[in-house]
A and B are shown apart, each in its own frame.
Chain A
Amino acid sequence: MVGAEMVIRALIDHGVDVIFGYPGGAVLPIYDALFKQNKVRHILVRHEQAAVHAAEGYARSTGRPGVVLVTSGPGATNSVTGLADALMDSVPIVCLTGQVPTHMIGNDAFQEADTVGITRPCTKHNYLVKNVADLPRVLREAFYVACAGRPGPVVVDLPKDVMMALGDYGDGQATAEELARRAYRPTLDPDPARIEAAVALIAGAKRPIFYAGGGVVNAGPEASERLTEFVRLTGQPITHTLMGLGCYPASDQQFLGMVGMHGTYEANMAMAECDVMIAVGARFDDRVTGRLSDFSKGSKKIHIDVDPSSINKNVAVDLAIVGDARRVLEAMLKAWRAAKAKPDKSALEAWWARIEKWRARECLRYKQNDAVIKPQYALERLYEATKDRDTYFTTEVGQHQMWAAQFLKFERPNRWMTSGGLGTMGYGFPAALGVQVAHPDALVIDVAGESSFMMNLQELSTIMQFRLPVKVFILNNGCMGMVRQWQEMFHGGRYSQSYIESLPDFIALAESFGACGVRATKPAEVDDVIRTMIETEGPVIADIVIDAVENVYPMIPGGAAHYEMKLGPDHGELEERSEDGMVLV
């Protein structure tokens, strides 16, 4: 078997049924091997960045690793943004890159790039395979590393001569010696003593809050079920990070909405005022903590994470539990029941009374008139129209992303795909493509801004070729809304380069690819447009022309403490930002 055939064989052995890629000179042997079989499907994207985002959408909506195949040089460099995105958001990706033949490496050959050098800081791990004898082991390790512990992207760089060299694939199984050599062995089972300590702390809490993030989603749907079971057992409130949406049912009374810069007032106030914080698979990101020195000063913090380097990174915690979220939550449930633990009922009642007061501020309130569509209204109507089906949402990055996080409600994990850590504009459309490949019959909607959509709209061609009925719901305000919002608030309204001129007519654009385009310019048209979008069988671009100057509220301005939220445009004057605050993004 030659190297290229081993690659395909390894994909099959790892249960891969679809890959996303783009051919080129260095990967021709692999494309040839791909041509000669019919077990692995290939989705031909129109840009390598989109291949990685599509694989991310596939991975995050299924829990299985997404696989990418690109050529050397520009193929590999184009994939870098996607890899960095997958690293920040812990998405399991195996990215196979072509490389010039081994004897030409380092000679500045045509389409040569130092792919392992370039991708080292934006992958969980990477490999350059110089000998075909190493190939079967490296491919096994790549899948193992991508999925084990905290997931992430892995690059395997494949020189063309290695792909054409004959070698022995073996039976596809790792030998005991190979397994023993693996240095990477994340801790998955928690320390029982710490579980007991956590249960005691949670039972004794007077003002507790659960703070759950993407780690729960990554630990599989069962982790979300155990989390839901445990939170209900305790009767305590829960909030989510942007990445965690869906791991606890949003319609439940105990859910306070999203936390952080554009999270709800009640979630942020509860985080600020709590006495016990239970972080599960969340990493105390700067979007969540606000000014670190004032972050939840009075609380004991329990931090559950599979990655020890996430613990005590930004915020010092009192009780660290290293382990897989599902296993930790299972152990906590067991320990809670064994100890016959009871939450402090009267204290909890008082705590809920305070939370309800914060909730009564209705921080997401907005005013819809007859003339201009408010983005919040469009999303509320979209949610109403889709809530009774199993709908998958992706987003781009910016204002629309925050509104989507605020107004769409997720009852289950793996239904919400967004670029949280890296904040990659252009993520949502190719990600939606990948989700649709994984779930051909599901309704898949990319909630987009027009500027983000412009960054990867070439994938319209891909969704047409593969008949993927992705819906793009553009909240079109004709500008980079979040940039504009910050310029309005912090840069004296000097809208430097945040308005895009010469936007396309999105209906005509859709039609030029053979897709359907629809538009709403008035609130009264929104429901019809949404209905048409959903009922049309193929891909649709819905161009929702929204209020161009609407801002996202509530907001913790950069550098402010997480209890210093601005609830709306009329809610007090924006304080002069400190110099420390101004340098923050």
Chain B
Amino acid sequence: MDGPIERHTISVLVENEPGVLARVIGLFSGRGYNIESLTVAEVEAQRGRSRINLVTTGSPMIIEQIKAQLDRLVPVHTVRDLTAEGPHLERELALIKVMGAGEKRVESLRIADIFRARVVDSTNESFVFEITGKPDKVNAFVNLMAPLGLVEVSRTGVVAVSRGTGTI
């Protein structure tokens, strides 16, 4: 609909029951909304609650729709638009496999050091780097690795939390 396309990070607290992820994903595919990234894990074992973090894009009207549609799913407790609500933290973890020898291999190590990426696995022909940070930082690191023998990327997607004392 009308308006500029915005990127929003939304956190959803849900009842940890079978099918709840399918409901959320089905909502997005059924109504044609975008998902850029989605993470889900149990966060309160005793109360049986999971947290879904999702990054989506759309016009302001679509973003409002997404939140209202999420909120009316029966197992959804809370929907928070972190982007709209103010300062928040976003982090992503990636495992990145690079293969190579000689100068390229040394260069990849040097860049990993600059990005504070850790080497978590090593053979004579390969490294696996672990990097944490904002999605932009992970993107930049992946781009720099591309000419240095990048062969595999595994990313968690964004997890996010608001800054300060407020809670979901």
Among residues of A, the one whose C-beta sits closest to the C-beta of B27 is A121
Residues 24-76 of B at the A interface (beta carbon under 8 Å) = 26, 30, 61, 64-65, 68-69, 71-76
Asked if A120 and B22 make an inter-chain contact with CB atoms under 8 angstroms apart, the answer reads yes
B18 contacts partner chain A, Cβ-Cβ < 8 Å: yes
Asked if A128 and B26 make an inter-chain contact with CB atoms under 8 angstroms apart, the answer reads no
Contacts of B77 in A (CB 8 A): 183
A253 contacts partner chain B, Cβ-Cβ < 8 Å: no
Residues 62-97 of B at the A interface (beta carbon under 8 Å) = 64-65, 68-69, 71-77
Asked if A313 and B65 make an inter-chain contact with CB atoms under 8 angstroms apart, the answer reads yes
Q: A116-B19, A121-B30, A312-B64 known; A184 and B69 CB under 8 Å?
A: no
Contacts of A186 in B (CB 8 A): 72
Among residues of A, the one whose C-beta sits closest to the C-beta of B71 is A308
Among residues of A, the one whose C-beta sits closest to the C-beta of B72 is A309
A339 contacts partner chain B, Cβ-Cβ < 8 Å: no
A316 contacts partner chain B, Cβ-Cβ < 8 Å: yes
Contacts of B22 in A (CB 8 A): 117, 120
B56 to nearest A CB, angstroms?
15
B8 contacts partner chain A, Cβ-Cβ < 8 Å: no
Asked if A128 and B18 make an inter-chain contact with CB atoms under 8 angstroms apart, the answer reads yes
B155 contacts partner chain A, Cβ-Cβ < 8 Å: no
B15 contacts partner chain A, Cβ-Cβ < 8 Å: yes
Asked if B61 and A183 make an inter-chain contact with CB atoms under 8 angstroms apart, the answer reads no
Asked if A316 and B61 make an inter-chain contact with CB atoms under 8 angstroms apart, the answer reads yes
Asked if A184 and B65 make an inter-chain contact with CB atoms under 8 angstroms apart, the answer reads no
A206 contacts partner chain B, Cβ-Cβ < 8 Å: no
A492 to nearest B CB, angstroms?
32
B85 to nearest A CB, angstroms?
17
Interface string of A99-121 (1 = CB under 8 A from B): 00000000000000000110011
Asked if B68 and A311 make an inter-chain contact with CB atoms under 8 angstroms apart, the answer reads yes
A307 contacts partner chain B, Cβ-Cβ < 8 Å: yes
B23 contacts partner chain A, Cβ-Cβ < 8 Å: yes
Partner of B69, one of A120, A128, A309, A316: A309
Among residues of B, the one whose C-beta sits closest to the C-beta of A186 is B72
Asked if B68 and A184 make an inter-chain contact with CB atoms under 8 angstroms apart, the answer reads no
Contacts of B15 in A (CB 8 A): 181, 183
Contacts of B14 in A (CB 8 A): 183
Asked if A309 and B68 make an inter-chain contact with CB atoms under 8 angstroms apart, the answer reads yes
A150 to B19: give the CA distance in the assembly, Å: 22
Asked if A309 and B65 make an inter-chain contact with CB atoms under 8 angstroms apart, the answer reads yes
A316 to B77: give the CA distance in the assembly, Å: 26
Contacts of B30 in A (CB 8 A): 121
Contacts of B64 in A (CB 8 A): 312
Contacts of A354 in B (CB 8 A): none
A125 contacts partner chain B, Cβ-Cβ < 8 Å: yes
Contacts of A120 in B (CB 8 A): 19, 22-23, 26
Q: A120-B19, A120-B26, A312-B61 known; A183 and B68 CB under 8 Å?
A: no
Contacts of A313 in B (CB 8 A): 65
Q: Name the interface size band of chain B.
A: 20 to 34
Among residues of A, the one whose C-beta sits closest to the C-beta of B14 is A183
A54 contacts partner chain B, Cβ-Cβ < 8 Å: no
Contacts of B76 in A (CB 8 A): 183
Among residues of B, the one whose C-beta sits closest to the C-beta of A154 is B74
Most B C-beta atoms less than 10 A away, residue of A121, A125, A145, A309 = A309
Contacts of A124 in B (CB 8 A): 74
Among residues of B, the one whose C-beta sits closest to the C-beta of A120 is B26
A76 to nearest B CB, angstroms?
16
Contacts of A121 in B (CB 8 A): 26, 30
Interface string of A144-166 (1 = CB under 8 A from B): 01000110000000000000000
A458 to B39: give the CA distance in the assembly, Å: 49
A186 to B19: give the CA distance in the assembly, Å: 21
Contacts of B19 in A (CB 8 A): 116, 120, 128
Contacts of A312 in B (CB 8 A): 61, 64-65
Interface string of A304-342 (1 = CB under 8 A from B): 000111011100100000000000000000000000000
A149 to B72: give the CA distance in the assembly, Å: 10
Contacts of A150 in B (CB 8 A): 72
Partner of A125, one of B2, B26, B61, B74: B74
A316 to B19: give the CA distance in the assembly, Å: 32
A59 to B151: give the CA distance in the assembly, Å: 59
Contacts of A145 in B (CB 8 A): 74
B32 to nearest A CB, angstroms?
13
A72 to B1: give the CA distance in the assembly, Å: 41
A115 to B120: give the CA distance in the assembly, Å: 44
Interface string of B1-16 (1 = CB under 8 A from A): 0100000000000110
A331 to B165: give the CA distance in the assembly, Å: 37
A181 to nearest B CB, angstroms?
8
A399 to B3: give the CA distance in the assembly, Å: 38
Interface string of A20-33 (1 = CB under 8 A from B): 00000000000000
Among residues of B, the one whose C-beta sits closest to the C-beta of A148 is B74
Among residues of A, the one whose C-beta sits closest to the C-beta of B30 is A121
Residues 74-122 of A at the B interface (beta carbon under 8 Å) = 116-117, 120-121
A381 to B30: give the CA distance in the assembly, Å: 44
Asked if B18 and A183 make an inter-chain contact with CB atoms under 8 angstroms apart, the answer reads no
Contacts of B23 in A (CB 8 A): 120
A124 to B23: give the CA distance in the assembly, Å: 11
Partner of B74, one of A116, A117, A128, A184: A184
- In addition to A308-B72, A309-B72, 19 A-B residue pairs with Cβ atoms within 8 Å of each other are A117-B22, A120-B19, A120-B23, A120-B26, A121-B26, A121-B30, A128-B19, A150-B72, A183-B77, A184-B72, A186-B72, A307-B68, A307-B72, A309-B65, A309-B69, A309-B71, A311-B68, A312-B61, A312-B65
The 9 residue pairs across chains A and B that have the minimum distance between CB atoms:
A309-B68, A125-B74, A308-B68, A183-B77, A184-B74, A309-B69, A121-B30, A309-B72, A121-B26
List 6 interface pairs A-B (beta carbons < 8 Å), by A numbering. Answer: A116-B19, A121-B26, A128-B18, A128-B19, A183-B15, A312-B61
